[in-house]
Amino acid sequence: MFRHSLLQFLSAALLLICQTANAQTPDAGVGANFSFRDLGNFWVGGEFVDNENGTQSVRGQTYVEYYLPANPLPDAPPIVLVPGGGLLGSIYGTTPDMRPGWALYLASQGFDVYVTEPYGRGRAGSGPWNSAAWVLWDMGEEPGVPCDGCAFPEEEGAYKMWMSQFAGPEPPAPQGAGRGGRAGGPGGAATASATDRLEESGGPGGGQQTATLAELLNHTGKAVVIGHSAGGAASLRLAAAQPELFAALITVEPSGCPGLGGEQLAEVPYMNLLGEYGNLATHANCMALMKQSLDAGGAGGAARFLPDFGLSGHGHLLMQETRNDEIAELMIDWISAGYPNEIE
Q: For the segment 65-78, what is each residue's pLDDT rounded down to a tens digit?
A: 999 999 999 999 99
- pTM across the whole model: 0.75
Q: What is the pLDDT of residue 123?
A: 67
Query: Pairing relation of β-strands 79-82 and 113-117?
Result: parallel
- State the pLDDT at residue 5: 39
DSSP annotation string for 187-254:
-THHHHHHHHHHHHHT-TTTHHHHHHHHHHHHHH-SEEEEEETHHHHHHHHHHHH-GGGEEEEEEES-
Tell me the C-alpha distance between 209 and 61, whole Å.
8
Q: If you ran DSSP here, which 8-state letter would residue 118 be given?
A: -
Q: What is the pLDDT, as a whole number, of residue 149?
A: 65
Cα–Cα dist 76/175, whole Å: 39
Instruction: Quote the pLDDT of residue 19.
Output: 40
May I ask the CATH architecture of the domain 4-130+166-336?
A: 3-Layer(aba) Sandwich (3.40)
Q: Distance between CA 313 and CA 149 in Å, rounded?
A: 60
Cα distance between residue 290 and residue 82, in whole Å: 21
In this prediction, the residues of the chain whose per-residue pLDDT falls under 50 are: 1-28, 168-205
pLDDT value at residue 210: 86
- Asked whether the beta carbons of 146 and 152 are under 8 A apart, the reply is yes
Going from N- to C-terminal start, the domains of the chain cover 4-130+166-336
- Cα–Cα distance between 132 and 116 in angstroms, integer? 27
Q: Is 151 left (phi over 0), alpha (psi -120 to 50) or beta?
A: alpha
Query: What residue ranges in 16-76 does DSSP mark as E strands?
Result: 36-50, 56-69
Q: How far apart are CA 227 and CA 272, in angstroms?
A: 10
pLDDT, tens digit (0-9, with 9 covering 90-100), for 197-226 = 333 333 334 567 788 999 999 999 999 999
